[in-house]
Amino acid sequence: MLRQILFFEIRYQLRRPATWLYFAILFLLAFGFLSSDAVEIGGGRGKVLKNAPWVLANTTIILTAIGQVITSALVGTSILRDFQTRTHELLFTTRISRVGYLAGRFGGAFVAMLVVYLAIPLGALVGSVMPWIDHDKMLPIHLANYLHPFLLLGLTNVLFISAAFFAAGALTRNQFVVYTMGIFLLVAWSVTGQLTRDLRNDWIGALLDPFGIQPFTLATRYWTVADKNTLLVPLSGFVLWNRLAWLAVSGGLVALTLGAFRFRAQPASLGLRWRHPKLAVAGVPGGLGGDDRPGITIGSRAAHAAAERLATAWAGVSGAASRGRQLLAVTRLAFASMTRQVSFLAIATVGAVNVIMSAWFANRMDQVTVYPRTYLIADAVVGGFGLFFVILLTTFVGELVWRERQLGADQIQDALPVSPALHLVGRAAGLVGAMAVLQAVLILAGIAVQTVKGYHEYELSVYLRTVFLIEFPFVLQYALLAFVVHTVVNNKAVGHVLLLAWWVSLITLDTLGFEHLLYQFGVRILEFPRYATFAQSFPNTIPFSEGIGFITEADKDDAGRDLPFMVTAHEVAHQWWGHQVMPAGVQGETMLVESMAEYSALMTTEKEYGRHAMEKYLRAELDWYLRGRGTEDKRELPLALVEGQGYIRYGKGGLTLYALRDYIGEDAMNRALSSYVRKVAFQEAPFTTTKDLLAEFRAVTPDSLQYLVKDLFETITLWDLKTDTATAVRRADGKWVVTLGVAAKKVRADTAGAERPIPMGDYVTVGVFGPKKAKDDALGEPLYLGKHRITAATSRIEVVVDRPPERAGIDPYHLLIDRNHKDNVRDVERH
Ligand SMILES: [Zn+2]
């Protein structure tokens, strides 16, 4: 029996035009992305080639995540079909077993979903071989690069999506729940994105993302151009745990469905009684109620009342006044019938939750806490609901246009003394009114978030302008487009799909890193409006954008880095680096200006906040550099030859100069710098280059550390440092003996990021730390800091400290470039 149902279901699904329509959409998106620049999903820019394994993986998971919104109907309907056609009561009288029925239906739908989603690798493959594309910008075709991400991430996603929609359909027998859940899943993805942006709780976001996008992004965030072009996504770490978790969830959902589903005419009670409204139209047979179908709920009392008012208006005679009354009545009916619907409320609620989440995180910028100024919250309100407007309008415009035809009442309507134009205008007005009310509610949500955060400068005019003057015109445009599409395309489902496909093709998911404009700003500080976000140094003024420092909550304990302080220090430092030292316009020029200013800023910050506070500043520089090199579109150059890349001249530059200072000492560093400035300040042509500065560095660096100048400035060198064990034993004299088991590797990279190992013989900082002084200091007060020479792949290090150690490890301040910098330090096990 199971087999019959299974094969019947597969045959049925594969014969449906909708199945192949979904297939075509996904195929065209993948095909369009690979074969043209018109579709931008999944990245692939500069030197990262379009069919690189990383890009193909990114495209696969993003398309499965977005695709589930439109394909939800496929699985949902496999079980809803029997209820919609009302054959379920008949079916339940047969000898079909419950499990056989469910497993057959689910299996069939799952196979159909797999067929639909195979369109992604297939479309990508076909797109890659099109004759018109530039094959120099593509890798040779390796089937594994196309199939691996589908098998690893796509397949598990399809299984989860199928299980989730099947469970929702079987247990609630309600298509709205099925539709709304797809949106819930998108919101989950977006929320996990917010979580992973903060390095402190990224693993939570990585685990909770149902589609595996966040763990994939985390696992590959420091991949270089060469890595992205050659490596397959490894099934380990974040990715592995995420996939296992969601496989378990999928299994749980299937088991739940098999266990809880009953052959009963009514759905299992899940508190969904609101799905049975009293029918307002008396005497209408049950079938017409159609409360399982979207949008034609004609049930609520309010809608009934509005309908009566409409009838009263119709009863009047012609004339401008009565036309006005009719218009008002149609508008009110459209407004009421839309806003009283559970589906409308459900989508709006999910959207509002997303808005509140976005607003909640809106004052956390790049690991710095800023005041929840109204413009930030208003932007979050607008950004957080954009997708939901698209969904609401796509769905409800369809319902408004199609209602009479679905109810079979269109001919009655044609006979009424109300012109079709008036109907259309009235409905559009009702729709727009509903959207406006929704916008107002969202503003209130934003104000609530500000209030909870203890911020009371609400600036209502900023809200109103952002929401109604900037966002609302787009909503109106889309509503108009939806009306036109639904009126012209004479099929509701096709209209929906067209609108959603249009939207999907519009969004460009820029997952490829991001430019930090924060430091593109380069003694008096001048505030200027946030039409640009930079600061710059002039001989006696520093123009400073209101968007990048004035709103920082710098006095908070866990506010992250004090950027106003550091940025100001950076700009002031340009009085030396840039104003006195003016380098030649050759490779390395910006190291002498920007890296030096960034170094001066780090040093000033250290003087102000103490060395223990520097970990987060250096980690941010390291993160900037590591993310940036993965998006390099020409070639990565060593710092001394930098050609202007921000991630090198600021991120790597500041970190590397700080590291040199740490190794050779501040006195030696300052001797080199003051000697250099004396020689080259205010010079005439020929101007100075990095060669002159490196010569000064070499002159003050001891022989044992000369290798550092080459490693830090003249080559691209990376380390992989790790603390495997950290234990401490209390001696009889009260001191603590700390023993570390550490691992160390060193590699050199070429300009595309391809690495080769080189021998390790380096001095590395060993640190032991006590209690934390501030909430967000990752390390705590140093009890011991010293340089130890590490030559082996693994070694044991022993140091003695006076007080109880809490954390210990190697290279705790991230002075050496290390992609796995989170494992440098660990908690000490005290015995
Ligand atoms: Zn600068």
Q: What is the CATH number of the domain that holds 790?
A: 2.60.40
650 and 787 belong to one structural domain: no
248 and 281 belong to one structural domain: no
464 and 342 belong to one structural domain: yes
331 and 376 belong to one structural domain: yes
Residue 700: alpha-carbon gap to chain centroid: 46
Residue with tokens 């099925």: 178
Q: How far is the CA of 571 from the centre of ligand 1 (A)?
A: 6
Whether residue 497 is contained in a domain is answered as: no
Q: How far is the CA of 511 from the centre of ligand 1 (A)?
A: 27
Q: How far is the CA of 724 from the centre of ligand 1 (A)?
A: 39
Give me the half-sphere count of Cα atoms (radius 13 Å) on the Cβ side of residue 712.
27
Q: How far is the CA of 552 from the centre of ligand 1 (A)?
A: 20
Q: How far is the CA of 359 from the centre of ligand 1 (A)?
A: 31
Q: How far is the CA of 233 from the centre of ligand 1 (A)?
A: 37
Q: Tell me how far apart the alpha carbons of residues 645 and 233 are, in angstroms, rounded to a whole number.
A: 27
**pLDDT attached to residue 703:** 94
The residue from 677, 699, 714 where one domain ends is 714
245 and 281 belong to one structural domain: no
Q: Containing domain of residue 432, as a range?
A: 277-489
Residue with tokens 């379009």: 50
Mention every residue, 6+ apart, whose C-beta is less than 8 A from residue 461: none
What count of other Cβ atoms lies within 10 Å of the Cβ of residue 241? 14
Q: How far is the CA of 515 from the centre of ligand 1 (A)?
A: 15
Least-confidence region, from 211-225, 258-272, 489-503, 762-776: 258-272
**pLDDT attached to residue 298:** 45
Q: How far is the CA of 748 from the centre of ligand 1 (A)?
A: 28
177 and 236 belong to one structural domain: yes
Q: Tell me how far apart the alpha carbons of residues 570 and 593 are, in angstroms, rounded to a whole number.
A: 10
780 and 666 belong to one structural domain: no
How do residues 302-327 score in pLDDT, each as one tens digit? 666 766 776 666 665 556 777 788 88
Fill in the DSSP letter of residue 235: S
* Secondary structure class of 636 (helix, strand, coil): coil
Q: How far is the CA of 573 from the centre of ligand 1 (A)?
A: 8
Mention every residue, 6+ apart, whose C-beta is less than 8 A from residue 699: 672, 675
Q: How far is the CA of 593 from the centre of ligand 1 (A)?
A: 7
**pLDDT attached to residue 783:** 94
Percent of the chain topping pLDDT 90: 31
Whether residue 270 is contained in a domain is answered as: no
Q: How far is the CA of 812 from the centre of ligand 1 (A)?
A: 27
Q: How far is the CA of 408 from the centre of ligand 1 (A)?
A: 69
**pLDDT attached to residue 559:** 55
Whether residue 98 is contained in a domain is answered as: yes
Q: Tell me how far apart the alpha carbons of residues 603 and 167 are, in angstroms, rounded to a whole number.
A: 58
Q: How far is the CA of 194 from the centre of ligand 1 (A)?
A: 29
The residue from 260, 293, 327 where one domain ends is 260
Mean pLDDT, range 564-588, rounded to an integer: 89
Q: How far is the CA of 649 from the centre of ligand 1 (A)?
A: 9
**pLDDT attached to residue 198:** 65
687 and 734 belong to one structural domain: no
Q: How far is the CA of 308 from the centre of ligand 1 (A)?
A: 69
More confident residue, 173 or 437: 437
The residue from 457, 489, 521 where one domain ends is 489
Q: How far is the CA of 267 from the centre of ligand 1 (A)?
A: 65
Mean pLDDT, range 502-516, rounded to an integer: 44
Q: How far is the CA of 178 from the centre of ligand 1 (A)?
A: 52
Q: How far is the CA of 555 from the centre of ligand 1 (A)?
A: 25
Q: How far is the CA of 597 from the centre of ligand 1 (A)?
A: 6
How do residues 51-66 score in pLDDT, each as one tens digit? 899 999 988 988 888 7
Residue 275 has pLDDT above 60, yes or no: no
Q: How far is the CA of 254 from the centre of ligand 1 (A)?
A: 57
Q: How far is the CA of 523 from the centre of ligand 1 (A)?
A: 15
For 453-460, the CB contacts below 8 A with 24+ separation are 453/363, 453/372, 455/371, 455/372, 455/373, 457/373, 457/374, 458/374, 459/373, 459/374, 459/375
707 and 731 belong to one structural domain: no
Burial of 37 (0-12, 13-18, 19+ CB in 10 A): exposed
Residue with tokens 């590797």: 745
Q: How far is the CA of 650 from the centre of ligand 1 (A)?
A: 8
Give the strand pairing for 364-365 and 829-830: unpaired
How do residues 656-700 score in pLDDT, each as one tens digit? 999 999 999 999 999 999 999 999 999 988 999 999 999 999 999
Sign of CA dihedral 493, 496, 500, 503: positive
Q: How far is the CA of 550 from the centre of ligand 1 (A)?
A: 18
Q: How far is the CA of 583 from the centre of ligand 1 (A)?
A: 14
In which band, very low, low, confident or very high, does the pLDDT at 203 lie, cut at 50, 70 and 90? confident
Residue 771: alpha-carbon gap to chain centroid: 34
Q: How far is the CA of 522 from the centre of ligand 1 (A)?
A: 3
Mean pLDDT, range 272-283, rounded to an integer: 37
Q: How far is the CA of 231 from the centre of ligand 1 (A)?
A: 35
Q: How far is the CA of 628 from the centre of ligand 1 (A)?
A: 18
Q: Dihedral of the CA atoms 22, 23, 27, 30 (nearest 10)? A: 60
Whether residue 266 is contained in a domain is answered as: no
232 and 298 belong to one structural domain: no
391 and 431 belong to one structural domain: yes
Q: How far is the CA of 591 from the centre of ligand 1 (A)?
A: 10
* Secondary structure class of 745 (helix, strand, coil): strand
Q: How far is the CA of 166 from the centre of ligand 1 (A)?
A: 56
Q: How far is the CA of 683 from the centre of ligand 1 (A)?
A: 20
Mean pLDDT, range 271-278, rounded to an integer: 39
| Distance (Å) of CA 42 to CA 29, 69, 218, 507, 511 | 11, 18, 15, 11, 7
| CB 632 within 8 Å of CB 785 | no
Q: How far is the CA of 572 from the centre of ligand 1 (A)?
A: 9
Q: How far is the CA of 820 from the centre of ligand 1 (A)?
A: 28
Give the strand pairing for 807-810 and 762-769: antiparallel
H runs (alpha helix) in 373-469 = 374-407, 410-414, 420-452, 460-464
631: domain CATH number is: 1.10.390.10
Whether residue 499 is contained in a domain is answered as: no
Please give the mean pLDDT across all residues of the chain: 81
* Secondary structure class of 645 (helix, strand, coil): coil
| Rg, the chain, Cα only | 32
Which residues are close to ligand 1, an ion, with C-beta < 5 A? 522, 594, 597
Write a three-state SS string for 761-793: CEEEEEEEECCCCCCCCCCCCEEEEEEEEECCC
Mean pLDDT, range 382-402, rounded to an integer: 79
Q: How far is the CA of 533 from the centre of ligand 1 (A)?
A: 13
| CB 267 within 8 Å of CB 171 | yes
Number of domains in the chain: 4
Q: How far is the CA of 570 from the centre of ligand 1 (A)?
A: 6
* Among candidate residues 598, 637, 638, 632, the one with its CA nearest the CA of residue 618: 598
Q: How far is the CA of 581 from the centre of ligand 1 (A)?
A: 13
Mean pLDDT, range 479-487, rounded to an integer: 83
More confident residue, 293 or 492: 492
Residue with tokens 């999928």: 250
Q: How far is the CA of 691 from the centre of ligand 1 (A)?
A: 21
Whether residue 494 is contained in a domain is answered as: no
Q: How far is the CA of 370 from the centre of ligand 1 (A)?
A: 22
Q: How far is the CA of 339 from the centre of ligand 1 (A)?
A: 53
**pLDDT attached to residue 518:** 33
Q: How far is the CA of 10 from the centre of ligand 1 (A)?
A: 62
Q: How far is the CA of 653 from the centre of ligand 1 (A)?
A: 11
Could you tell me the two tokens for 213?
A: 């996008």
| CB 417 within 8 Å of CB 325 | no
| CB 452 within 8 Å of CB 445 | no
**pLDDT attached to residue 742:** 96
List 768's β-bridge partners, or say none: 784, 808
**pLDDT attached to residue 194:** 72
How do residues 720-752 score in pLDDT, each as one tens digit? 999 999 999 999 999 999 999 999 999 999 888
Q: How far is the CA of 535 from the centre of ligand 1 (A)?
A: 8
Q: How far is the CA of 586 from the centre of ligand 1 (A)?
A: 17
Q: How far is the CA of 594 from the centre of ligand 1 (A)?
A: 5
Q: Tell me how far apart the alpha carbons of residues 582 and 677 are, in angstroms, rounded to a whole number.
A: 10
Q: How far is the CA of 259 from the centre of ligand 1 (A)?
A: 64
Q: How far is the CA of 710 from the centre of ligand 1 (A)?
A: 25
Q: How far is the CA of 781 from the centre of ligand 1 (A)?
A: 31
Q: How far is the CA of 542 from the centre of ligand 1 (A)?
A: 11
Q: How far is the CA of 609 from the centre of ligand 1 (A)?
A: 21
Q: How far is the CA of 249 from the centre of ligand 1 (A)?
A: 49
**pLDDT attached to residue 289:** 34
Q: Which range scores top for mean pLDDT: 403-407, 499-503, 574-578, 799-803?
A: 799-803
440 and 389 belong to one structural domain: yes
The length of the chain, given as a count of residues: 831
**pLDDT attached to residue 822:** 85
Give the strand pairing for 542-545 and 525-528: parallel
Q: How far is the CA of 563 from the centre of ligand 1 (A)?
A: 13
Q: How far is the CA of 226 from the centre of ligand 1 (A)?
A: 29
Whether residue 265 is contained in a domain is answered as: no
How do residues 606-642 score in pLDDT, each as one tens digit? 998 888 788 888 988 998 899 888 877 788 999 999 9
* Among candidate residues 616, 630, 786, the one with its CA nearest the CA of residue 199: 616
Residue 811 has pLDDT above 90, yes or no: yes
**pLDDT attached to residue 389:** 82
Residue 187 has pLDDT above 80, yes or no: no
Q: How far is the CA of 442 from the centre of ligand 1 (A)?
A: 39
| CB 713 within 8 Å of CB 640 | yes
Q: How far is the CA of 519 from the centre of ligand 1 (A)?
A: 7
Q: How far is the CA of 369 from the centre of ligand 1 (A)?
A: 23
Q: How far is the CA of 582 from the centre of ligand 1 (A)?
A: 13
Fill in the DSSP letter of residue 640: G
Could you tell me the two tokens for 489?
A: 């395309």
Whether residue 611 is contained in a domain is answered as: yes
